[in-house]
Amino acid sequence: MASAEDDLIARYFRPLATHAGALGLIDDAAILAASGEDIVVTTDAIVEGVHFLPDDPPETLARKALRVNLSDLAAKGATPAGFVLTLALRDINEAWLAPFAQALGEDAAAFGCPLLGGDTVSTPGPLMISVTIFGKLPTGTMVRRDGAKPGDIIAVTGTIGDAALGLACLKGKKLLDDASACEALIARYRTPQPRNALAEAVRTHASAAMDISDGLAGDLAKLCAASKVSATVEASAIPLSDQARRILSSGTAGIEMLIAGGDDYEVLCTVPENRWAAFREAAGRVAVAVAGIGRVQKGNTAPVFLDVSGMPIAMKRLSYSHF
């Protein structure tokens, strides 16, 4: 007789396991074939009350759980190959599972990243969704954090700070009178936009890269520490959405909230000056916005963010902390 877990897997997740190596989710393992390639592996979990709010819609949780991992692959220059999923659930709630599985399947298809397997467990505590993702790239070409060199241009994709502002809106902070503008910020928090279309350009041109998950300021500090360098960033060059600019202008939030808030899931990379034009051209071909925001410097001090007058911006914190 099939268990409740077997029924759950068969109903909601076996239809997503389209890769032949997933073996229809009837085995304890899956198979990924690799010939002349490196396999890149990364994992991230999202936990209720830490990474998402209890009333966040299940479809946005499915997309966020997969996309935060896809974002890691993009920053490494890797192409998605598949993922495994672990769900810790308080109960089997079909009204929650159906939209979750549907959204997960849609994203798996859209990003070419099939479900390969996983586990479902019962928990008396908060809901937890963990994804371990696998990517492929040519042998020896993964872009690490430790390759930045003095003189490299610091670049970011998309816009910075929207997700932190969206979370503030969800928590009841009055940032804008325009409800539609607030909804756009909330969407950035709930549904990241991983830059996998840029993976090849990152792999070809970047000297170092990582995705921005805990905040631009803190993640740049991590990249610089790994590369044994420092950096200078022009705060005015950081790309912001119209909504974020309006909020900054109104004074309801400051630049620290935008660059230390986290959940951007944009790519942060360093690019040698002689590769910058080619990198921007490659980004344009895949319709991903990139902006140069500063330079890598010699030294081992923390990155410095400069205001419009060229003075360092004092910050109480550099990034979001999970603890």
Residue 107, domain CATH: 3.30.1330.10
Establish whether 320 is an annotated binding residue: yes
By residue range, what is the domain housing residue 205? 153-306
Question: Model confidence over 152-165: pLDDT tens digits?
Answer: 999 999 999 999 99
User: Residue 219, annotated ligand binder?
Assistant: no
* 28 annotated as belonging to a binding site for a ligand: yes
The larger pLDDT score, comparing residue 8 to residue 154, is at 154
Residue 269: which of 258, 256, 282, 255 has the closest Cα?
282
**In-domain check, residue 315:** no
What lies within 8 Å, CB to CB, of 126 at 6+ separation is 47, 48, 49, 50
Q: Is 44 annotated as a binding residue?
A: yes
Q: Are residues 253 and 132 in the same domain?
A: no
Residue 283's pLDDT is: 98
Same domain membership, residue 168 and residue 129: no
Asked if 159 and 100 sit in the same domain, the reply is no
pLDDT band at 317 (very low <50, low <70, confident <90, very high): low
pTM: 0.89
Parallel, antiparallel or unpaired: strands 230-234 and 304-306:
parallel
Query: pLDDT value at position 163?
Result: 96
- Of 85, 110, 138, which residue sits at a domain end? 138
- The H or E element containing residue 306 is strand 304-306
> Considering the chain, what percentage of its residues have pLDDT values greater than 70?
92
What pairs with residue 129 in β-bridges? 46, 87
Domains held by the chain: number: 2
Q: Residue 35 to residues 31, 38, 44, 112, 137: CA-CA distances in angstroms?
A: 13, 8, 26, 19, 10
Find the mean pLDDT for residues 137-145.
92
Element housing 47 (H / E) = strand 37-47
Which of 104, 138, 172 is the last residue in one of the domains?
A: 138
* Residue 94 within any structural domain of the chain: yes
* 8: in domain: yes
pLDDT given for residue 5 in this prediction: 60
Is 280 annotated as a binding-site member? no
Is residue 133 domain-shared with residue 187, that is, in the same domain? no
Assess whether pLDDT exceeds 60 at residue 151: yes
Of the listed ranges 2-16, 94-108, 151-165, 219-233, the least confidently predicted one is: 2-16
For residue 1, what pLDDT is reported? 44
Q: Is 263 labelled a binding residue?
A: yes
User: Mean per-residue pLDDT for 7-19?
Assistant: 74
Tokens of 323: 């603890």
pLDDT at 290 over 90: yes
pLDDT digits (tens, 9 = 90+) for 186-212: 999 999 999 999 999 999 999 999 999
Does some domain include residue 197?
A: yes
> Residue 51, annotated ligand binder?
yes
The answer as to whether 67 is a domain residue is yes
The torsion angles phi and psi of 2, rounded to 5 degrees, stand at: -70, 140
Q: Are residues 127 and 177 in the same domain?
A: no
Tell me the CA distances in angstroms from 187 to 52, 72, 132, 200, 263, one per residue in order. Answer: 12, 20, 24, 27, 12
211 appears as a binding residue in the annotation: yes
Q: Does residue 177 sit in the same domain as residue 106? A: no
Q: Is 262 annotated as a binding residue?
A: no
Q: What's the rounded Cα separation, in Å, for the pair 256 and 295?
A: 20
Domain identity same for 166 and 294: yes
First to last CA, the chain: 43
The overall longest dimension of the chain from CA atoms, in Å, is 71
Average pLDDT over residues 214-222: 95
> Is 7 annotated as belonging to a binding site?
no
